[in-house]
Amino acid sequence: MATHQEAAVKSFFVYCPELSTKEGTEHLKVLFYFPDTAQLNRKIRNIGLCEALVNFCKTFSPDKPCETVHTQKTKQAFLEPEPGIWMTLTVTIPCSETIHNSERVLEYHEHLIQDSVVQAALQRSYNMFKLFNGTMRGIEATQSVEGLKKRLDVFYSRYWKNIDIARHNIFSVLQGIPFLPLDKYMYLKVHCFVNLVETTFRQIKRTVFVCGDQLVWSGLEQEDTRIFYQYLYDSWLRHNPNPEASGIPSVPAGPNTGSFILEDETGGKKNTWVYVMINQMLTPSRLFVYAVGPCVLCMFVQTDDSPGDDFIKRISVFLGPRLMHLTTEIRDFVSRNRSQSVEKQPYRMVYFNEMNLAIKSPLLSRYNSYLSITQDMMCLLTQLNAEYDKLNEGETVIRTIADYWIVARKNGHRRFFVLFTQKDVNFAEVNEEVRKICQKEFSNIYFFD
């Protein structure tokens, strides 16, 4: 295989058909188009095509709009995140050049980029925008279409540069949240600490407590938590790999004396606006993130006037010692219980619970690089996962041509995938292995075959 081209974002655009009513004004529909380098008429043409596809699909599926389109070279995902506003993401299918009958031909590996991945990436791009800007219609209402265009431009032209779609997989589709395994009392301590913070500083409406790259507590609603965690992970946790073996990474930049971390999108300021649901209302609030070692405390602050430095000083004075003490306790706890922490299992497995978005997988953890998994198999997992979206429950056992075994299982909103790479095992043995894993991992929940 001579050259190989990985999947890449070809284009992404946001458009609003109703903005152009008469011929020749199509350009008005375009709210945002990536890459910006494209010619206007190209933009218009592609958007036109998308509209056509969507409408054509409507004739047969009036209520369920068009989701994806495959061409030989690309996969496209469609989304109408807000009434009348459409988003389209186009991703090129990975291809490689081979010699076929002494001719150079391109081979497209369409299985290496899954629909679910493209759709998830699109949905996520919207969620992220919303997290930092609120709804598009909202912006339009307050700042007119031009204002919206500006906001979209500021956000997305930066956003898409940092997306490496080829690295996306089942995890980016599930967008699960890893929870730090703590015992009841330890957890209560953390929770009571959070309560203390919130009751001491009434301006703090919500709090999220993360340890290492695992969530401990979130006062946000579930969807917000999911999005916010993703943001936190991408922008902070991921870049601070764990020096300790303790299973919970410490955050080098967050000095152990504790300090505010995380500049906002534009950098500089110590706090940034985010839009999350508070009392069933999408509310803008300021985000403060304070870290001690591996422990990251995210506070969603609501104040009429911008909280001055004294506020920040007061918080850090308050948090510093307390959080430090708590951190030590958690560290000790984790190192005490490392043995049963999921990092240690030699299984290439993924566990996900739709109900609380909890995800468990050694593959996620940085310390399990030895659990390598080929891109092919990763894609197969992604594929199976997509298939299991449609199933309420069931189990699938697969032996691939390469003699890998994959077991997928879904039961009561929980799904579980495991890949066995040892070639010499048979069906029965695999079955037994899986039974063992479930015994070990899920004995305390209603989850069985």
Q: Which residues contact 249 (CB under 8 A, 6 or more apart)?
A: 212, 213, 237, 240, 241, 242, 243, 294, 366
Q: Is residue 282 part of the contact set for another protein (CB under 8 A)? A: no
Q: Is residue 217 part of the contact set for another protein (CB under 8 A)? A: yes
Q: How far is the CB of 188 from another protein (least distance, A)?
A: 4
Q: Is residue 220 part of the contact set for another protein (CB under 8 A)? A: yes
Q: Which residue has the tokens 């991703």?
A: 91
Which listed range, 21-29, 234-242, 299-307, 395-403, lies at the site for another protein (CB under 8 A)?
395-403
* Binds another protein (CB under 8 A): choice among 35, 36, 80, 105: 105
* Binds another protein (CB under 8 A): choice among 306, 398, 429, 440: 398
Q: Which CB, 245 or 398, lies closer to another protein?
A: 398
Q: How far is the CB of 222 from another protein (least distance, A)?
A: 4
Which listed range, 131-139, 235-243, 328-336, 385-393, lies at the site for another protein (CB under 8 A)?
385-393
- Which residues, numbered 133-172, are part of the site for another protein (CB under 8 A)? none
3 state SS for 131-189? HHHCCHHHHHHHHHHHHHHHHHHHHHHHHHHHCCHHHCCHHHHHCCECECCCCHHHHHH
Q: Which CB, 104 or 313, lies closer to another protein?
A: 104
* Binds another protein (CB under 8 A): choice among 38, 312, 358, 364: 358
- Which residues, numbered 14-73, are part of the site for another protein (CB under 8 A)? 49, 52-53, 56-57, 59-62, 64-73
Task: Please tell me the distance from the alpha carbon of residue 343 to that of residue 368, in angstroms, as a whole number.
Answer: 7
Q: Where are the alpha helices (DSSP H) in 258-374?
A: 309-336
Q: Is residue 253 part of the contact set for another protein (CB under 8 A)? A: no
Strand order, beta sheet including 103-108: 4-5, 95-100, 103-108
Site string for another protein, 169-198 (x = CB under 8 A): ----------x--x-xx-xxx-xx--xx-x
Q: Is residue 395 part of the contact set for another protein (CB under 8 A)? A: yes
Which listed range, 100-108, 134-142, 242-250, 363-371, lies at the site for another protein (CB under 8 A)?
100-108
Q: Which helix (H) or strand (E) holds 196?
A: helix 184-200
Torsion sign over Cα 410, 379, 223, 212: positive
Task: Please tell me the distance from the alpha carbon of residue 180 to that of residue 333, in angstroms, as a whole number.
Answer: 11
Distance of CA 186 to the CA centre of its chain: 28
